[in-house]
Structure 1
Amino acid sequence: MTTTADRMPALYIGHGAPPLLDDPMWSGQLATWAQELPRPTAILVVSAHWESAPVSLTASGAPLVYDFGGFHPRFYRMTYATPDATALAARVAAMMPRTQPVHQHASRGLDHGAWVPLKIMYPDADIPVLQMSLPTDDPYRLLALGERLRPLRDEGVMIVASGFLTHGLPFLRDFSIDAQAPGWSVDFDLWAADALARGDVDELAAYRSKAPGMPYAHPTVEHYTPLFVALGAALRADEPSDQRIDGYWMGLAKRSLQVA
């Protein structure tokens, strides 16, 4: 891996769905954000859409995963062919505890939690991208995973945790992009924004009992918990994060942030 003087930030981003690619506002926000970041030598993504233990890694050159339904056929023909990420895969595998073997997947490519936002942020697809599975929903174990991955940031690798700060799809009634956000979505979003601004990791980890809007905001929690990988990769998890994008998309909170 190439060493760089610029320590790469770690990000938590709302990845949306394929129609995000047609949304000029959110696409513009992601593109502008990417332009303001130092250029990574490689990108490691932990996405809500791949829950698997032990930790598993994607195969370089494998086809994209079209893990969605009901959208325009053109989304199923999209490609995002990035350079080989075998070196990063070997580096990540070596960073894991010997008691926790890493599974190198032979045929799985990037899912939409990775390629949809990256297609906007890095449209030339000229940066190696590796995806890692989300091995648990335990916030403290994910913090520890992020901490283990932290040295990658000094090697030019951007760590991207991809989810959605609220994701109560079963409780939405309006699926238009500019739909009014339900109360449970707003309440959870503002609670999280406040805890992030204070660097209160324990509050964020106790979301099941402390967050307003539960369980509607997250009937399943895989879109929220990647946040803890990003926080764990921070130099200090209890430092306030830089919240770069806020607002709502289909009524869901698209709040996204970076940590130092």
Structure 2
Amino acid sequence: MLSPVFLAHGSPFTIFEQSEFTAFLNQFGKENRPKAIVIFSAHFESEITTIAATDDVHEMEYDYYGFPPEFYQVQYPARGSNIVASIVEERLLERNIPVQRKYRGLDHGVFPIMRHAYPEADIPIVPVSVNAFLPAREQFAIGEALQGLETSGILVIGSGFLTHNFNEIDRNPDAAPRQWAVEFTDWIREKVLARDIESLVNYETLAPHAKRAVPRAEHFVPLLIALGSGTPGRESRVLHSGPIKHGSMSNLSFQF
């Protein structure tokens, strides 16, 4: 079952990491073999929903700074798919959602997790942008436009983080979880598993510590998009629930 998923993408360190989280990604890739992947990355932002369409091998976007040289030499030679890009474009236009094609390579919301899930880079990937400033209900509607792609073997992935506040990150990866991060993450888990869409699209006012957990929404909206793309009435489930790292960063991931 190629049900849509929300995956935490980790930091750039995920690229070379061998951990409980990367073991999960490896197992996920073995259990889910799509014909193509459509991925909404928190690191690909545009005011208009933008599809990075190509049939060629993707370029690399090393969108991070201050890392050792090997982090800028990583290659993930997956191809794109103009056919799948056209399907996504058509679906969005049918819902009167503005869309454009403009190429951009694979960023660190994409290639670190893909290297662990699909190390052979043999599955076409179509990156699609997010707009952090759209209302949550409109984010969900973008996902709704893509419902049923799984029946064609296309896996929809939202890549981000439930919490993403650089001012609250502890350098020690094993620092005790901050209470606000625990409470926010638990609330999101509860509402996702209950498929409580109304609460989730109003998370900014209903979720505990929402402004602290999501000071800017680019890492959160991939969850809403992936959730919207799931089949209505189907149960959501937790794919991975590792400990909160660095005091506030959760790798909690879902399938819808």
Which residues of structure 1 form unaligned runs of 5+? 1-6
Matched, 1:191 2:201: no
**What pairs with 1:148-227 in structure 2 (closer than 5 Å)?**
148-172=145-169, 174-227=170-223
CA contact (8 A) 2:58 2:79 kept: no
User: 1:17 and 2:11 equivalent?
Assistant: yes
- Distance in 2, matches of 1:69 and 1:177, equals 19
One of 127, 140, 143 as aligned partner of 1:131 = 127
In the TM superposition, residue 12 of structure 1 has moved relative to its aligned partner by: 0.3
- 1:31 is aligned, of 15, 26, 30, to 26
1:14 is matched by which residue type in structure 2?
A
How far 1:88 sits from its partner (Å)? 1.1
The amino acid across from 2:166 in the alignment is L
Structure 1 residue 65: deviation in Å? 1.0
Answer yes or no: is the 8 Å Cα contact 1:15–1:163 preserved in 2. Answer: yes
Q: Which residue of 2 aligns with 1:51?
A: 45
Q: Does 1:40 align with 2:37?
A: no
| Residues paired across the two proteins, number | 249
Bigger mean CA deviation after superposition, 119-128 or 239-248: 239-248
TM-score by length of 1: 0.89
Per the normalisation by structure 2, the TM-score is 0.91
- Are 1:102 and 2:99 matched, yes or no? yes
Letter in 2 for 1:145: I
Residue 93 of structure 2 contacts residue 99 of structure 2 at CA under 8 Å; is this kept in 1? no
**Given the alignment of the two structures, is residue 73 of structure 1 paired with residue 69 of structure 2, yes or no?**
yes
Aligned CA distance change for structure 1 residues 126 and 211 (closer, same or farther; 3 Å)? same
CA distance in 2, matches of 1:84, 1:142: 24
CA separation of 1:36/1:175 partners in 2, compared to 1, >3 Å: closer, same or farther? same
1-structure distance, mates of 2:13, 2:20:
12
Task: Tell me, yes or no, if the aligned pair for 2:143 and 2:225 is still in contact at 8 Å.
Answer: yes
- Write the letter of the residue equivalent to 1:258: Q
Q: Percent identity?
A: 31
| Deviations 1:141-191, CA, capped at 9 Å, x for gaps | 12211111113211100000011011111122x223323221121111111
Whole-Å Cα distance in 2 between the matches of residues 101 and 147 of structure 1? 14
Shift of residue 128, structure 1, vs aligned partner: 0.2
Alpha-carbon contact 2:148-2:231 (below 8 Å) kept: no
Q: Distance in 1 between matches of 2:136 and 2:68?
A: 36
**Which of 240, 244, 248 in structure 2 is aligned with 1:248?**
244
Counterpart secondary structure, 1:96: helix
Q: Secondary structure at the match of 2:121?
A: coil
Cα deviation digits, residues 115-162 of structure 1 (max 9, x gap): 111111001100000100114532211221111111321110000001
Give the residue type in structure 2 aligned to 1:66.
Answer: Y
Residue by residue over 1:192-242, the C-alpha shift from the partner in whole angstroms, topping out at 9 and shown as x without a partner, is 111112111111121111111232111111111111111111111x65411
Task: Indicate the residue corresponding to 1:4 in structure 2.
Answer: none
For the residue of structure 2 that corresponds to 1:49, the secondary structure is strand
